[in-house]
Structure 1
Amino acid sequence: MLRLSLAALLITPVALPISAPALAAAPVHLPTRFSVVVEGHGPDVILIPGLSSTRDVWAATAADLRGRYRVHMVQLKGFGEPAGANASGPVLRPFVDDLATYIRANRLKQPAVIGHSMGGLAALMLGTGHPGVASRIMVVDSLAFIGPLFGAADVAAVTPRAGAMRAMMLARPGQTTPDFTLKPDCPGAEPVPSGEATMTNSALGACLVGYGGRVSDPRVVAQAMFDDMVTDMRGEVGRIQVPLTVLHAGPRDGDYGKLYTASYAGKVGVKLVGIPGSAHFIMQDQPRQFAEQVSAFLR
């Protein structure tokens, strides 16, 4: 599990169509950093995908929840759609601030927030930077600081590598604007490609990882990856005043579980849950266990 490193950061699921009645009323605040699809009725739940992922990573979760909750599936612009305001400059912090504005302007009543990987880090940033906005937070396989996966103890130590990785991604030959009209073709029957098992051990997850890479703007991926790597929330998580649940791949007593225990040591009462048999995409790798955890989190 400690081999997740960058692979654990580069998250990429996608587009299984979700059909259900959307809300009749359009949002009052139209976000600039992300798009959103709203389905269902009931208490508000916000789902945030990770790096290079579209909202469709949450297809099964949304289908399960929308009969009892109003589900807001956000998608960072540049992942599966044109980059817009995310085409240049910082990505992660402006996204979090825009999400807080969306919640307040549309008068959502302290939604539950669930974020995967970089989306989980964004959820932590929402909880510390905008107290009182969320009622509870679930982080899915995201450390409060990714530096230890790169052997870095702090932001200063990881910044040179983060900058080099961003430059390398932007300099890759043949990078073009993605074809955002592409649709996923994920029959669920293909084997997991070797080398991708650090991110997912399911056929569906592997298909979604490949699709997400094809429909993400490399400029947004590179900058969002940099923002993620140089954000250290370990000293901030103690300020989160709402229930915090953190799911991670592998058993609680494994090396990866111990890494999570250290990462979230600053938050009294944090609920850390290991998911044996899963890689990074817990939603696809262990869907039953994941659904059970989400149900318990929302009760």
Structure 2
Amino acid sequence: MNNNTNKPTKSKQQHNFWTHLAISLTIVGGMLATNFSSKAAESFSVEVIGNGKPVLMIPGLMSDARVWRPTAEALAGQYQLHLISIAGFAGKPAIQGELLPTVKQQLLQYIDQQQLQQPAVIGHSLGAFMAFNLASTAPDKIGTVIAVDGLPYLAPVFTRTNDTTVAMMQGQAGYLRMQYQQMTSEQLKAMTAQGLLIQATSATHQQQVLDMAAASVPKAAGQAIYELLTTDLRPKVHNITSKVLLIGASGAMANEADRRAATTLYQQQIASIANATLEFNHQARHFIMLDQPDWLTARIASALKD
């Protein structure tokens, strides 16, 4: 395995991977579709490019469709890509109340109203969680699932064990939501800046991640974090009947022990899915589509064809 983490100093290499990933996942998931009412789509907007078999592409926390556009453009000759941007993230207006349950419900409505036949779902981070959520809730409506560095349950990233339960995390989740509700946009930007080293390798891509976070609504980010920490999909993912590819990023991991621990944790979360595969990219950091775009596009294209 490749141990090149592109860290600036040896001391930086020793930073604990799990601490960084917790920061990453906590502070960070063509034309407009014309037949979907604005009321029904209040929790997200859609950009559609390409022609062919439908594919939904969902970004992560405080990201929007821009992270997926280059990948979508590479696939547009064979697929119809529906690029999702979630309310409250990267300059999109926020909604009141629950966020992720509303997104799930309205995405399923979108699939029905657009008459999409078992679309594949590709999600990054929070978007990967949404992909697992859609496929376990409505397995007959969802095709191939490609989850990019995201899990059915986030909390074990903090605790380093899949024994973690929602009950254990309830207090911490509530505290984080309250903290984000009181945060200004500048404070959100400053907090995001602390974790940029594990988001992406290049300064340009790190700035892209920071700009999207700076344009996000802190309250929306806090609500999403609360819901990620208090929603455990592991008891439901056995319902998934389609093929699942989970891709992890280990480029920010300091050593082989961290890579083994992450592999075990990720594998355990998808163990009950009948047709699931786990693969890691050992050079890319959390935003794999920014760090290793050609590699990721090739893996996605292969998974969609299989």
TM-score normalised to structure 2 length: 0.83
Q: 1:289 to 1:266 in 2, by over 3 A?
A: same
Instruction: Note if 1:142 corresponds to 2:158.
Output: no
Q: Tell me the equivalent position of 1:107.
A: 115
Q: Which amino acid is the alignment partner of residue 168 of structure 1? A: Q
Q: Tell me the equivalent position of 1:94.
A: 102
TM-fit CA distance, 1:72: 0.5
Q: 256-265 vs 153-162, which deviates more?
A: 256-265
Q: Tell me the equivalent position of 1:15.
A: none
Q: Deviations over 1:18-74 (max 9, x none)?
A: xx5x48x72244412100011111111110001100110112101101122111101
Q: 1:194 to 1:162 in 2, by over 3 A?
A: closer
Q: Which amino acid is the alignment partner of residue 149 of structure 1? A: V
Q: Tell me the equivalent position of 1:187.
A: none
Instruction: Note if 1:65 corresponds to 2:98.
Output: no
Q: Tell me the equivalent position of 2:11.
A: none
TM-fit CA distance, 1:202: 3.0
Q: 244-253 vs 130-139, which deviates more?
A: 244-253
1:255 and 1:139 map into 2 onto residues whose CA distance is 19
Q: Tell me the equivalent position of 1:126.
A: 134
Q: Tell me the equivalent position of 1:2.
A: 18
TM-fit CA distance, 1:234: 1.4
Instruction: Note if 1:277 corresponds to 2:257.
Output: no
- Does the CA-based 8 Å contact 1:8-1:199 persist in structure 2? no
Q: 1:131 to 1:95 in 2, by over 3 A?
A: same
Q: Percent identity?
A: 29
TM-fit CA distance, 1:9: 3.8
Q: Tell me the equivalent position of 1:156.
A: 167
Q: Tell me the equivalent position of 2:10.
A: none
1:67 and 1:211 map into 2 onto residues whose CA distance is 30
- Does the CA-based 8 Å contact 1:249-1:256 persist in structure 2? no
Q: Tell me the equivalent position of 1:217.
A: 217
- Does the CA-based 8 Å contact 1:29-1:105 persist in structure 2? no
SS at match of 2:118: coil
SS at match of 1:160: helix
Task: Provide structure 1 residue ranges, at least 5 long, that are not aligned to the other structure.
Answer: 13-19, 179-192
SS at match of 2:145: strand
TM-fit CA distance, 1:235: 1.6
1:237 and 1:289 map into 2 onto residues whose CA distance is 27
Q: Tell me the equivalent position of 1:53.
A: 63
TM-fit CA distance, 1:8: 2.5
2:67 and 2:204 map into 1 onto residues whose CA distance is 10
Q: 33-42 vs 149-158, which deviates more?
A: 149-158
TM-score normalised to structure 1 length: 0.84
SS at match of 2:198: coil
1:126 and 1:204 map into 2 onto residues whose CA distance is 33
Partner residue of 1:264 out of 264, 267, 270: 270
Q: Which amino acid is the alignment partner of residue 262 of structure 2? A: Y
TM-fit CA distance, 1:114: 0.2
Q: Deviations over 1:177-226 (max 9, x none)?
A: x9xxxxxxxxxxxxxx7742222223343112111111111111110111
1:199 and 1:71 map into 2 onto residues whose CA distance is 24
Q: Tell me the equivalent position of 1:228.
A: 228
Q: Tell me the equivalent position of 2:89.
A: 79
TM-fit CA distance, 1:131: 2.3
Q: Which amino acid is the alignment partner of residue 296 of structure 1? A: S
SS at match of 2:140: coil
Q: 140-149 vs 3-12, which deviates more?
A: 3-12
**RMSD of Structure 2 on Structure 1 (CA):** 2.2
SS at match of 2:199: coil
Q: 1:141 to 1:39 in 2, by over 3 A?
A: same
Q: Deviations over 1:222-273 (max 9, x none)?
A: 1011111111111211110111110001289622112101222221331101
Between Structure 1 and Structure 2, how many residues are aligned? 272
SS at match of 1:198: helix
1:65 and 1:204 map into 2 onto residues whose CA distance is 24
TM-fit CA distance, 1:138: 0.8
TM-fit CA distance, 1:109: 1.5
Q: 1:28 to 1:144 in 2, by over 3 A?
A: closer
